[in-house]
């Protein structure tokens, strides 16, 4: 069977694999494609030869005869080429019956050529298929980069449909839940993640957050190893390019860092108030000795802070400035004594 000749135009060039068990047709296809500037990386007469060529040559596109002989027909071969090697396919066949067309369509072919093939039709179909294949390859690359970026983040991420079934979760969430993405796909949030709110109420769905974004603090999750971890959450609606809601996104991050930061900020506020106070003040350690003094205390005592650190408070009392209220000094001494007595009693109790 020969190609019906015509005039070909300029087109996008690509690496093409021909899977055709009729040698004459295969040679004609090769000649036309190479004259148009394409690189025909191989001709395979069977599925086995096609898979070997696909692995070794990495073609951009395969022209596959539906009715090749061997362990697999052309439609089965196309399925393997797409699933294993991400190679898109244009089908070539002498048959145009509905059953064949439906089977071919199920493999998401980028084109369908019926013998006898016209040269112009071949080149136009290959041109369109290559553009689609390159667009799909770009989308896969972008998707892979996005997944790699999401997997690199320390925050756990889950994407659900509007109905609540899980569509995606990243590596951090896999680690927290002890379940892989493949195990979680299609399940509900409550089946994968043990999540409790600040009132200790179990939360099994994101349905209540459908009106918009939410930031939630101090919730708890049970990790894969049975531990209990405080987390902060953000919930948002995933929208498509037209602004229509398509799902929900849940982000979990360990609350420990936020809590440590708050503790540091609180400590800084306390230290500022202590150091800036006009009243003479001292902080005592567990033994009732001075651990820290403010400037008002050094001014009142007439001694340097480093000379006061480590002293019992009652030895300081006689050296304080007269401006320091006596009842304050007495209270500080009593508190220091009570602390020591309490610690002594605890020590005797444990003996």
More confidently predicted of 113 and 225: 113
Residue 8 pLDDT grade (very low, low, confident, very high; cuts 50, 70, 90): very low
pLDDT exceeds cutoff 50 at 341? no
Q: In Å, what is the CA distance from 180 to each residue of 2, 158, 166, 169, 249?
A: 52, 12, 12, 8, 18
Which of 15-19, 144-148, 172-176, 334-338 ranks highest by mean pLDDT? Answer: 15-19
Residue located via tokens 């148009």: 36
| Tokens found for residue 200 | 């200790």
Residue extents of the structural domains in the chain: 15-147, 154-255, 277-350
Torsion angle defined by CA atoms of residues 308, 311, 312 and 315, in that order, rounded to the nearest 10 degrees: -70
Mean pLDDT lowest among 49-63, 150-164, 260-274: 260-274
Which whole number is the average pLDDT over 330-350? Answer: 48
Distance CA 169, CA 147 (A): 10
Question: CA 236 to CA 159: how far, in whole Å?
Answer: 10
Q: Give the class (CATH, top level) of 15-147.
A: alpha beta
Residues 6 or more apart in contact with residue 143 via CB below 8 angstroms: none
**Segments in the chain forming alpha helices (H):** 23-35, 47-57, 74-85, 98-105, 119-152, 171-177, 181-184, 189-192, 256-276, 295-301, 305-308, 313-316, 326-350
The C-alpha atoms of residue 87 and residue 134 are separated, in whole angstroms, by 11
H or E segment to which residue 160 belongs: strand 156-161
Fold of 154-255: Beta-Lactamase (3.30.450)
Q: What is the pLDDT of residue 104?
A: 72
Q: Hey, is 50 helix, strand or coil?
A: helix
List CB contacts of 262: < 8 A, sequence separation 6 or more.
none
Checking if the pLDDT of 343 tops 60, the result is: no
Tokens of 216: 């939630």
Q: How far apart are CA 100 and CA 66, in angstroms?
A: 8
pLDDT for the residue numbered 258: 78
Paired tokens of 206: 């994101």
Query: pLDDT at position 349, please?
Result: 37
Angle between helices 47-57 and 74-85 in degrees, nearest 10: 20
The pLDDT assigned to 331 comes to 59
pLDDT at 25: 93
pLDDT digits (tens, 9 = 90+) for 194-250: 888 888 888 888 877 766 678 888 888 888 777 888 888 888 888 887 888 888 898
Q: Which long-range contacts (CB under 8 A, 24 or more apart) does 99-102 make?
A: 100/66
Q: Give this prediction's pTM.
A: 0.53
Judged against a pLDDT cut of 90, whether residue 64 lies above it is answered with yes
Whether omega before 223 lies within 30 degrees of 0, making that bond cis, reads: no
Residues 129, 134, 140, 144, Cα dihedral to 10°: 160
Mean pLDDT of 312-335: 57
What string of DSSP letters covers 256-285?
HHHHHHHHHHHHHHHHHHHHH-SS--EEE-
Q: CA-CA-CA-CA torsion for 61, 65, 70, 73, nearest 10 degrees?
A: 90
Q: Which residues of 275-284 are buried (b: 16+ CB within 10 A; e: fewer)?
A: eeeeebbbeb
CB atoms within 10 A of CB 49: 18
Half-sphere exposure of 315 (CA within 13 A, CB side): 10
């Amino acid at each position: 069977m020969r190609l019906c000749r015509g005039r070909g135009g300029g087109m996008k060039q690509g690496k093409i694999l021909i899977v055709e068990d009729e040698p004459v047709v295969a040679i004609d296809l090769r000649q036309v494609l190479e004259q148009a500037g394409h690189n025909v990386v191989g001709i395979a007469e069977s599925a086995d030869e096609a898979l070997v060529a696909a692995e070794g040559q990495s073609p951009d596109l395969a022209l596959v005869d539906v009715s090749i002989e061997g362990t697999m027909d052309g439609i089965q071969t196309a399925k393997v080429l797409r699933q294993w090697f991400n190679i898109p396919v244009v089908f070539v066949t002498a048959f145009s019956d509905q059953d064949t067309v439906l089977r071919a369509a199920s493999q998401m072919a980028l084109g369908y050529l019926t013998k006898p093939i016209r040269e112009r039709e071949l080149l136009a179909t290959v041109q369109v298929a290559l553009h689609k294949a390159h667009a799909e390859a770009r989308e896969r690359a972008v998707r892979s980069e996005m997944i790699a970026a999401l997997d690199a983040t320390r925050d756990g991420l889950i994407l659900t449909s509007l109905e609540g079934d899980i569509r995606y979760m990243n590596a951090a969430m896999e680690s927290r839940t002890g379940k892989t993405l493949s195990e979680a796909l299609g399940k509900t949030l409550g089946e994968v993640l043990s999540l409790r709110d600040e009132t200790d109420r179990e939360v099994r769905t994101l349905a209540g957050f459908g009106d918009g974004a939410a930031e939630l603090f101090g919730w708890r999750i049970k990790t894969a190893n049975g531990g209990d971890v405080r987390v902060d959450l953000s919930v948002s609606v995933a929208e498509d390019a037209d602004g229509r809601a398509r799902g929900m996104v849940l982000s979990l991050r360990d609350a420990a860092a936020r809590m440590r930061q708050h503790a540091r900020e609180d400590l800084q506020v306390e230290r500022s108030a202590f150091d800036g106070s006009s009243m003479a003040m001292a902080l005592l350690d567990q033994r009732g000795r001075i651990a820290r003094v403010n400037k008002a205390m050094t001014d009142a005592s007439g001694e340097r802070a480093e000379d006061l650190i480590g002293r019992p408070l009652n030895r300081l009392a006689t050296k304080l400035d007269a401006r320091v209220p006596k009842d304050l000094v007495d209270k500080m001494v009593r508190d220091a004594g009570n602390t020591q007595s309490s610690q002594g009693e605890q020590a005797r109790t444990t003996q």
